Chains A and B, each alone.
Chain A
Amino acid sequence: MSDDNVEDVEAFRQRAREWIRANLRRADGPGQTLRGKDEQQDLAEVAREREVQRMLFDAGFAGICVPKDYAGQGLTPAHQRAFNDELVGYEYPARLQVPPMTPCMAVLLEFGTEEQKQRHVPAILKGEEIWMQLLSEPSGGSDVAGALTSAVREGDEWLLNGSKIWTSGAWWADWGLVLARTNWDVPKHRGLSVFILPLNAPGVTVHRIEMLNGNREFCQEFLSDVRVPDSDRIGDVDDGWTVGVRWLFHERMQHNSPYVTRPTGATREGEKGSILKVVRDAGRIDDPVARELAGEALEIGLVTEALNHRVARGIMTGTMSDQAAAVGRLLMCVSLSRQSTIAFEIAGAAGGAWADDDGEAAERGTDFLMRQTPSIGGGTTEMARNVIAERVLGMPREQALDRNVPFREVPRGSARQ
């Protein structure tokens, strides 16, 4: 930022603090969990989050790192971090951050036409449009570029057919970013294109998936002759993978993205409550074994957070390649998994059967069943390890049988489709 008029970070922090205290509600206890909830309650929470987003926008705190041309604040990541620090302990529009701000808005900002950006970015910052990504397909999770959803051109329109899966909140969101195949006669990475579409468009059917813990946030969408105007294409025809590579990068950035508003340290503490509360509610606060386990959970939480700061700074300053995001992601997933095991262990028998008044010791068994979720969603840890070995350390790529072959000739297992 060479602009001399940029507000000093500390002055901004002060202004943010005053506004947050005067306008936002204190976050009450543990934040959102993955447990199943009443549909009306879900919708009410989404409505409140849209409202909070609008308040942020009106107060000049939405899109802190988004250029002013698109109704953002045109400030720096340091300003966003200061805001996030001050947000600790307060409500925030959690559902509107990842994936709506990143990767969706980040991709729009990077690849959208001027018209697309003017139409959608301010609406996103106002909480009027909530975006989700229609990326994964039932035919394969990690092999994103192997998308089978097809887009066929008809005059000024495209006709989309296929199915997308693992879209969070598609049943209450507004718009989607879609990766589709536009050419089957070239190798897989060269026949893709990216489109945007309203989730209530004719031909889109949204099905809610029930997870093993009762959560029904994830959706599968069926696209049947969905018509998308060519003006809603992002990037060039058949060049969708150029967009896709950055899309995945913005997705890996997650909470390190400068577009994300979120209380600092929310992963570690805010969403699950302090691990020490689990120790206390399990009645083990004087048990040295439980205390040491809690110490380990704190240890890996602090280390993961420090690593994420380092990687974010490294990528921002160009001392690390974009691919280094996988390093932070890998450790974060492994750590979250370990923390879940630790909380379950500390809960003791309450991990297997609990009562409503068990406080933070309750539901640890459920969390444990869902333990692998972070290591799967947003790219598995196996993929992260491949990225680190191949892209960060420069080791030889895994053999792939779909390279330099027209996509329609690539072998598919019977489980695909």
Chain B
Amino acid sequence: MLLQLSSDQEFFRETTDKFLTDQVPVEVLRRLRDEAAGYDADYWRRGAELGWTSLLVTEKHGGGNISGNGILDLTIVAHEFGAHAAPGPLIATNVVAAALAETDSHPDVIAGLLDGSTVATWCIDEPGRRPLDVDVEIRVDGDDLVINGVKRPVEAAEQASHLLVTGRTDDGLTQVLVPAETAGVTVTAMRSVDLTRRFGAVSFSDVRVPRAAAVGEVGQASAQVQRQFHLVLALVNAESVGAMQTAFDMTVEWGFDRYSFGRPLVSYQALKHRFADMKSWLEAGHAITDEAAEELGTGDDRAAMLLSAGKAFIGDYGGELIQDCVQLHGGLGVTFEHDVHLYLRRQTVNRALYGTPSQHRQRLADLGQQRDEAAANKVDA
């Protein structure tokens, strides 16, 4: 969460916070566990009216941001989503909206995403592969593009009417927007620990779409895919930190209220020191998330490393933090009745998606090496 919000940003944050508090309190989240979509269509439309899907879309396409840095503005919403463990395809729709607006394609779909009537999602991850390691094939066949392969997990796969698919065309990457009902597309529901977030496996079997369905140039999408990936990381990090914040606040309050041996839990130095560690991880999570989003929004080339550092750190230490919150609650912490698991679920799923902490540490080494080599070349030159 940003240290200082402008008054416009604070108004925006507060509006989303109030809406989520009102619409999706914890009782509703528990109920949504049994709903197929995990969220209500009307809830999503009303959220879109608050601006949830318009921040990364240029004004030309009907969107607009608050501060001039739409990514930073959107992390405010993502943070609230984490803090409330809120339902809805926030990340999926925003990534697609940004990609379509940036490439000036499919304006009708953008309009639907903006008003919340349409849900779209990004099919990027593939089974058993590292993030951005793409094996799905998009072949050019005359005026058509033909897609073959499997993507999983795909967020909101069954809810989305449009799928943004990233595939390989010879040596390059291609992105294409595929209507979900296209022949050859099969969506199979997957299971997840998140109560309200749904995932599916999407298989493409000779799926044929006109070349006009391409998002950007065929075989030239590599930089765009990187940008989308970075955007997802910025949002996932912000959301997980929101979840960490709520779990931490709840546990601090519990520590003051709960007495053992005639003393509150927070009077024991052994526990105070753990709270201190948790506080340092929490603030660090905020710090790395905000710095990365700020730099990503302004196009700074440090952003890639900051995002991976954040994804790895928040994945590991966010998990430790919320698990410690569970521990400090004792047996209650592992019951369905207690709320702490709602936030643990959100952080846990986010940790596993879009690259695990270990994969992002490896990516950091790659990026660090590239940076060192670039710096060495600069000195030589």
Contact = CB atoms under 8 A, between A and B. Distances in A.
A295 B364 contact: yes
Contact of B362 (A277, A288, A317): A288
B3 A294 contact: no
B308 interface: yes
B286 A300 contact: no
Contacts of A314: 3
A330 B284 CA distance: 11
A303 B276 contact: no
B306 interface: yes
A300 B3 contact: no
A389 B268 CA distance: 10
A275 B368 CA distance: 9
B21 interface: no
B7 interface: no
Contacts of A294: 364-365, 368
Interface in B269-288: 269, 272-273, 275-277, 279-281, 283-284, 286-288
Interface centre among B280, B283, B365, B372, by most chain A C-beta atoms within 10 angstroms, is B280
A388 B312 contact: no
A296 B284 contact: no
B298 interface: no
B358 A317 contact: no
Nearest to A89: B379
B364 A385 contact: no
Interface in A218-263: none
B3 A313 contact: yes
A235 B267 CA distance: 35
Given A276-B369, A298-B364, A389 B273 contact: yes
A395 B362 contact: no
A303 B362 contact: no
A390 interface: yes
A395 B266 contact: yes
A114 interface: no
B45 interface: no
Contacts of A18: none
Contact of A295 (B255, B287, B306, B360): B360
Given A288-B362, A385-B273, A295 B288 contact: no
B305 interface: yes
B363 interface: yes
Given A300-B313, A393-B252, A385 B266 contact: no
> How many of chain B's residues touch chain A, expressed as a range?
35 or more
B171 to A, nearest CB: 24
B363 to A, nearest CB: 7
B305 A298 contact: yes
A295 B312 contact: yes
A127 to B, nearest CB: 29
B310 to A, nearest CB: 7
Nearest to B279: A388
Interface in B288-329: 288, 290-292, 305-306, 308-310, 312-313
Interface in A363-417: 382, 384-386, 388-390, 392-393, 395-396, 398
Contacts of B361: 292-293, 295-296, 298-299
Contacts of A192: none
Contact of B309 (A274, A299, A398): A299
Interface centre among B269, B284, B358, B361, by most chain A C-beta atoms within 10 angstroms, is B284
A327 interface: yes
Interface stretch (A4-12, A133-141, A304-312, A350-358): A304-312
Contacts of A293: 361
A71 B275 CA distance: 44
A294 B277 CA distance: 23
A300 B280 CA distance: 12
Contacts of B365: 276, 279, 291-292, 294-295, 298
Nearest to B252: A393
B377 interface: no
Contacts of A395: 255-256, 266-267, 272, 275
Interface string A322-356: 00100110110010000000000000000000000
Interface centre among B267, B292, B368, by most chain A C-beta atoms within 10 angstroms, is B368
A367 B286 CA distance: 31
Interface string B235-269: 00000000000000000100110000000101101
B312 to A, nearest CB: 5
Nearest to A88: B375
A319 interface: yes
A395 B369 CA distance: 44
A43 interface: no
Contacts of B6: none
Interface in B335-366: 358, 360-366
Contacts of A392: 279
Given A276-B369, A385-B273, A303 B363 contact: no
B362 A291 contact: yes
B73 to A, nearest CB: 19
B324 to A, nearest CB: 14
Contacts of B277: 330, 385
A293 B364 CA distance: 10
Given A327-B279, A385-B277, A395-B267, A295 B272 contact: no
Given A295-B365, A314-B3, A385 B283 contact: no
Interface of A: 274-277, 279, 285, 288, 291-296, 298-300, 302-304, 306-307, 309-311, 313-314, 317, 319, 324, 327-328, 330-331, 334, 382, 384-386, 388-390, 392-393, 395-396, 398
Interface of B: 3-4, 252, 255-256, 264, 266-267, 269, 272-273, 275-277, 279-281, 283-284, 286-288, 290-292, 305-306, 308-310, 312-313, 358, 360-366, 368-369, 372
Given A295-B312, A295-B361, 17 more contacts: A274-B368, A274-B372, A292-B362, A295-B365, A296-B312, A307-B284, A307-B287, A307-B288, A317-B3, A327-B279, A330-B277, A331-B280, A331-B284, A388-B280, A389-B269, A395-B266, A395-B272
8 contacts: A295-B368, A303-B310, A306-B287, A307-B283, A309-B287, A330-B276, A386-B276, A388-B280
8 tightest A-B CB contacts, nearest first = A295-B361, A389-B272, A388-B276, A310-B287, A295-B364, A385-B276, A302-B309, A306-B287
